[in-house]
Chains A and B, each alone.
Chain A
């Protein structure tokens, strides 16, 4: 105990408040948007990055003074914010909650990529002359920029609070948030209100980007997602739509991270952030500062599956498709075969996600975690001496069990809370892999995973491994289609359409959700395990958040719940960018635009949702 008490707690507190005010500044904008649009704006991180680069252009390239840079940055951020509303939010007005959330992920990818293309990936210095004084606090010191960040966050929150509760436009904003239709009838121009809110939040996010860039004297186009995630955790702590609460949430998150580092070390930082996120979602989804249950949980289970007739290709066409796919290696192009193997591995993962996201209605942004569990399980077991065939099956079974257990807390979440919760679970899995060094070899990764040989037969050469993966896709697609036409499929769809009604009829929804997760976990675990044996080397980052987003894009493209669609979409998404390798730099742009356009114009996917 003595050693714990003797730690410099005061200095840890200062560190926590300094980083916490950066989180708070991000959180204020996110909370404002959540309050009005009832949506987590995943593009907010990209606005932050845009702000940093507009600041760089003004302050460094053009040599403008700070007093001229700040308004220009705010203007730039405001325009981008308004643009996000116009492109990604307004057209999706009548769709379910999850649609605009995914659209903002798409916009975020596009904005990040544009910044990347314009300015390159190299971090840039952002030297802005600041007063040279520093105040000694504890053993360290804080400078004018630390104070500016904190004060900006507080002033912004106070000003927004006053705006929301003391002005007529603010009243219109709150009315829109409460009941859009009623507000419209009272003569509120809800589009203008929404756009104004996104513009304000955009300006704030951009200024945050500038200030944080000055603070670190470094800006780079890859910070968006991390900083957005931290802002998101902060608003979950502070209460999703609670603007002043966002400040508290940010500072609390900063303190939790700082104390966590004090006790356990630096590599546990994000683990704490996401564990807190998950805990808050489960225990106090309305935030620490909520008086009671202010906001009613959404009535929908949270899909945006609109009834549609899925395209059902005739059996002979499917058989023909499989036969054609089986002949691919005969073209004598190993590169093409390898690309198709990758595509079918994605297809296997997409089949499993389409079951839980489409059929059961748990839209997951953490699906890569299942792949990672399967990959590590098979890798570690086979290195320990198990034959590869047994390793694959064991890995799939382990993933089914572990995946279901991990996702179990998310079963009671609804709507976009499912998306956030699964995202947190995905990150937690990856961070546990990173930190559980004795089991997973930590950041060193697992090297020397045995190649695919099943019962002494070589499956690691290009062609056999292709046929193996294709075979798995066909088997699991057939199996899943069979399940969906049984009473199980009907029950799953009933839970998706109306969980409350289903439970009234005596359907134990958690049990059936668990069954779906178990089956999906088995498939995804197998996909991850095969991938691990193919790579021969995996680490905690092999299956990351981007993998999750990609699999989700595939599933939406194919039509949520549509097995055939998932396979076709996987071939398109994993195959198309390979064909446009010349446009390599624009590949992420392609993913972002595809996601955005799909949700906008074909929310039911190519083949319709089932």
Chain B
């Protein structure tokens, strides 16, 4: 460990303490816990994301509670398994709404599962805080739906900037997950690319459980693109880049930020080299919050954090900060989300929410490329 890193870590710690406000330094929290209800997948096809969330939540709570929790009360969460299934998210919503101990709800994972429960949370007056819900309609159900997930219109503008303006691609082939997320992303990207003077020559959707893309890629190749854009998650993204190279396509690949994960590198192997992506959370960022998070996470779990870990970690910190500044009742949290600003987090330098769209503001994407089996800053 270099001294400079240690200083950064200390700076991060000091900053965190300063933001803790009037709390006594390093006071252990005690008393009635402040309870957050989490609805997410612990079993079923999306179970891995629930596991990633837990790691992020636990790490954040450890720190928050070591610093005195919420005005001396420990912050805790209860995790209900929804299997990312709308039938179960609405049952869980009833449970949380009727439990007076729950002050805010977090989740669910997919927009489908989350939005099924949204009308209930809206009527029940409990904030539904979705941090993986990039669906443009997620926050539209009502004023109790808030999201720290980058909306897809924001994300796809970044992708189009990267692919068209930075890399100079003019004939782009898009491969996208044929889900609400992937299709929305594709549609917005097509428009944004057009605005920047590029053409989308092919767009192919695939289902999340598909593994074989050779025929699809042959079709893509026949459309004669000069670059590929992947609207994928990391596991299917890895399968794709391997097979892209196997069918002999040797063009630049730009992948949406959700491939940013160590697992993408191990699953894709050598084929990952040369893949462009963007990240809001990246270890190469010099910001002290990021470095402190990576250090703590690696020490706790013996592995490097990924994007989902970071988003979960941020979620707890943002909510804790809202509660500290504005109070812990359901209504105070809802009002607080609209007013809070300048919260530093791992993903964003300064978090605040647009009170109109109830979406996070203050993005600052980092452009990355895979080199020698690692994500590195892209310098053309």
Alpha-carbon separation in the docked complex, A584 to B42 (Å): 7
Looking across the interface, which residue of chain B has its beta carbon closest to that of A260?
B215
For B216, list chain A residues within 8 Å (CB). Answer: 261, 266
At the interface, is chain A mostly helix, strand, loop or mixed? helix
For A120, list chain B residues within 8 Å (CB). Answer: 47-48, 51
For A63, list chain B residues within 8 Å (CB). Answer: none
For A136, list chain B residues within 8 Å (CB). Answer: 248
For B218, list chain A residues within 8 Å (CB). Answer: 8, 11-12, 15, 140, 258, 261-262
Per-residue interface assignment for chain A, residues 254 to 270, with 1 indicating a CB less than 8 Å from any chain B CB and 0 otherwise: 00011001100111011
CB-contact partner of B51 in A121, A442, A462, under 8 A: A121
For B362, list chain A residues within 8 Å (CB). Answer: none
Shortest beta-carbon distance from A127 to chain B in Å:
7
B97 within 8 A of A: yes
The answer to whether B180 and A140 have CB atoms under 8 Å apart is no
Looking across the interface, which residue of chain B has its beta carbon closest to that of A585?
B43
Shortest beta-carbon distance from B274 to chain A in Å:
17
**A-contacting residues, B313-357, CB 8 Å:** none
For A141, list chain B residues within 8 Å (CB). Answer: 246-248
- Total contacting residues, chain A, CB less than 8 A: 75
The answer to whether A139 and B247 have CB atoms under 8 Å apart is yes
**B-contacting residues, A247-300, CB 8 Å:** 257-258, 261-262, 265-267, 269-270
Alpha-carbon separation in the docked complex, A137 to B106 (Å): 51
The answer to whether A444 and B97 have CB atoms under 8 Å apart is no
- Total contacting residues, chain B, CB less than 8 A: 63
Shortest beta-carbon distance from A332 to chain B in Å:
8
At the interface, is chain B mostly helix, strand, loop or mixed? helix
A19 within 8 A of B: yes
A445 within 8 A of B: yes
CB-contact partner of A267 in B81, B91, B178, B215, under 8 A: B178
**Do A581 and B269 contact each other (CB < 8 Å), given the known contacts A12-B215, A15-B247, A143-B246?**
no
Alpha-carbon separation in the docked complex, A258 to B213 (Å): 10
The answer to whether A542 and B246 have CB atoms under 8 Å apart is no
Per-residue interface assignment for chain A, residues 324 to 366, with 1 indicating a CB less than 8 Å from any chain B CB and 0 otherwise: 0000000001110111001000000000000000000000000
Shortest beta-carbon distance from A340 to chain B in Å:
10
A539 within 8 A of B: yes
Shortest beta-carbon distance from B136 to chain A in Å:
10
The answer to whether B182 and A19 have CB atoms under 8 Å apart is no
A319 within 8 A of B: no
> Which of A31-39, A214-222, A233-241, A471-479 binds B?
A214-222
For B211, list chain A residues within 8 Å (CB). Answer: 212, 216, 218, 223, 226
Shortest beta-carbon distance from B87 to chain A in Å:
6
**Do A443 and B267 contact each other (CB < 8 Å), given the known contacts A223-B209, A257-B215, A584-B43?**
no
User: In the complex, which of the residues A226, A258, A536 has the most CB atoms of chain B within 10 Å of its own CB atom?
Assistant: A536
Which residues of B approach A to under 8 Å, CB–CB? 42-48, 51, 80-81, 83, 86-87, 90-91, 93-95, 97-98, 112, 115-116, 118-119, 123, 137, 141, 178-180, 182-184, 204-207, 209-219, 221-222, 235, 238-239, 242, 246-248, 263, 266-269
Q: Which A-B residue pairs are the 7 nearest by beta carbons?
A: A15-B214, A584-B81, A121-B47, A140-B247, A335-B95, A258-B215, A338-B94
